[in-house]
Structure 1
């Protein structure tokens, strides 16, 4: 598990001078991923717990891969090969998680490691803000990508703080640091994701009054800490925000045109930026869609977007099924699974305004969801009657 934890820790460091360094063209996170894959294979072939991911998640993911290759082959675009490493990365994450994450305590450690890594990344955002960077992206190198991950982490840590008895100071500090850094990043999509997660946290909190007080305190802190340029971006007074909004509207219109002309297989993986030049007639408009659902639909067609929706829905459904069992038996497991649901609820709303379909926090949630039901069944429910019978026979022999 050591290499798996290292891989999780390195997720936020896309643009770090040391932690994102490459050795012979291979980045540190890929090296950790390769090592984790080797350990997972050894565990699988040496009679470990085996592949415990449920078919309800694996089948939709295989459907997504099928749509990728179908769109790539039928469009014959060499640029689509640049997207393949992303699918390979999430495949490695899903595969290793399906073998190595075989207990609640390992999921708990994964969330701790990821939260600690995001805290370090948030400190870089604060540092860049103090040095006068208007929209800092920290170790992500992009303010939008950082903001959606930080909003996810803030909601995750707030929920863990509310439902866990351990590490309360750590989780509260993590919530304050990540939520404040979302504001400093100046990302409207990230702020919206955080707000939705906080509202969902209040809706699901067992004590509505305490939940409301926590949200009021958080909102008060936001208004104190929010920078002026962020308020201007929301109010539309900032010139850069106005230009960005105009460009996004044009790109969204181009995206719908792509879907209309290529409804089944799309324009090809990774081709959205190139196609916007053709549809809008300007190289300056070669940008992402800033809408994950639109970008997936334009690149993979309606077949691909249906596969992606099935994958996301089945993952959330798995977390809900696990919660239904765990809420009555084990509060520790309940806290982890509930926190993931709170965090990912805002993520899916933020994805309406950001192109984050390949971000690792989403695929980490999907990976945990794929094994959650089997872990809950293994750790909470009693063993089958056959095992009880064998146990009684052994007791009689003694």
Structure 2
């Protein structure tokens, strides 16, 4: 299992230069991926555990990946190689996770590995901001918005572990401090979509029945006080509140940049709608939104991605791919919600904390994904795969009673 855990930890670093070409042209992530796949082939499940049978969710995930591989394979244009490799690697890791992550302890360790990987990325992002002078750190993700998405997913998971798990006080304090660092880093990215996703995740978290709202409000107050003290004033301009704080030239520049970004997204929306109108069933093809954006809206001066996951999937993969993707998200949330309901009045703290953590993080993703193209973000799919493994573990535990 060590190779699988290392694969999850290093996943955010797939494009990191220091890890990119280590041996025979393979990156560190690919090396761990090959080792994990080899391990999964020879892995033997514990005999007392029933072999999991595939369901609608697993079937839809395989169809979604194979649909992408087929569409890209029959096209020789516009260099979709990166998306092809991403889909193929996700399909392989799906097999590895379903086969090997077969206990609640392995699920917990896998979630911890996600947090560890993003924590290292956070360190890199803070280094970029404080030592390299990069105004909006992007860490190893190549873009501040994708960095923000990873931070949002982890922050929500950490908050659930603080308030739902039965960890000792020292561990909760450590998680609390880690959450503060990640929240501050999220704001340094100045990602409006990331902040909205975090707020939506927090709202869902606050509406949970078992949560102690007084403790959460205290946590948010301390977090807000800490963040306001360290956040540079010019970043407020990204959120359109420069008039309230201080009309500095630097802040005005950020506000102007935010306005330009908003106008560009409106033009991309028109381009995406035009693509859907022309090819509604199967779309214009995987990875082709950027190339076709200029052709479908003359007001766009240079090729751009959709900056909206739902628009990009609908335009590139058509109604067929869009329905499958939406169904995958919905069925994953439905499974996690069913675990939450069944453990509502129990003392199964592992299942309670993990189900809430995965559920709220996915809801936060749904909100954040509205403002960036993130259908192929590996952390998203890892969380979906872990959610499936977690649900399988829960069903096996219930059926064994």
Give yes or no for TM over 0.5.
Answer: yes
**Cα distance 1:375–1:366, how it changes in 2: closer, same or farther (>3 A)?**
same
- Take 1:184 and 1:53, find their aligned partners in 2: how far apart are those partners? 44
Equivalent residue for 2:351? 333
CA distance in 1, matches of 2:81, 2:16: 25
Give the match for residue 156 of structure 2.
Answer: 155
Q: CA deviation at 1:228?
A: 2.2
Residues 77-99 of structure 1: CA deviation (Å, up to 9, x unaligned) = 46344421111121122111101
User: What secondary structure is seen at the aligned counterpart in 2 of 1:213?
Assistant: helix
Q: CA deviation at 1:153?
A: 0.6
Q: Deviations over 1:261-309 (max 9, x none)?
A: 1101100011111001222358852111110000011110011100100
CA deviations on 1:333-387 (whole Å, 9 max, x unpaired) are: 211121111212111100000111111221012101222222013235544xxxx
Give the equivalent residue in structure 2 for 1:207: 212
Match of 2:223 in 1: 218
State the Cα distance separating 1:76 from its structure 2 match: 6.3
Corresponding residue of 1:171: 175
Q: TM-score, normalised by structure 1?
A: 0.89
State the Cα deviation string for residues 94-126 of structure 1 (Å, max 9, x = none).
Answer: 111101111111111111122122112111211
Look up the match of 1:391: none
Cα distance, 1:69–1:121 mapped onto 2, change above 3 Å = closer
Other structure's SS at 1:265 match: coil
- Which SS does the other structure have where 1:355 is aligned? coil
Secondary structure in 1 matching 2:31: helix
**How far apart, CA to CA, are the structure 2 residues paired with 1:123 and 1:73?**
38
* Mean Cα deviation higher: 89-98 or 39-48: 39-48
Q: Secondary structure at the match of 2:19?
A: coil
1:12 and 1:121 in contact (8 A); partners too:
yes
2:111 paired with 1:111: yes
What is the aligned counterpart of 1:356 among 367, 370, 374?
374
Query: Contact 1:323–1:337 (CA<8 Å) still a contact in 2?
Result: yes
The answer (yes or no) to whether the contact 1:80–1:268 under 8 Å persists in 2 is: no
Pairwise mapping of residues 362-377 of structure 1 onto structure 2 (< 5 A)? 362-377=380-395
CA contact (8 A) 2:98 2:389 kept: yes
The answer as to whether partners of 1:289 and 1:295 remain within 8 angstroms in 2 is yes
TM-aligned CA deviation for residue 72 of structure 1: 4.1
The gaps in structure 2 that reach 5 residues or longer are: 242-251
Per mean C-alpha deviation after superposition, the further-off stretch among 66-75 and 164-173 is 66-75
Q: 1:88 to 1:53 in 2, by over 3 A?
A: farther
The residue number in structure 2 matching 1:30 is 30
Measured against aligned partners, the alpha-carbon deviations of 1:7-59 in whole angstroms (never above 9, x if no partner) come to 00102224434234443332111111111111111115997968637413211
Aligned equivalents of 1:33 and 1:53: distance in 2?
24
SS in 2 for 1:269: coil
Give the distance between the partners of 1:67 and 1:14, measured in 2 at CA: 24
Structure 2 distance, partners of 1:46, 1:107, is: 16
Q: Is the 1:15–1:140 Cα contact (8 Å) retained in structure 2? A: yes
Report how many aligned residue pairs link the two structures.
383
- Equivalence for 1:4: 4
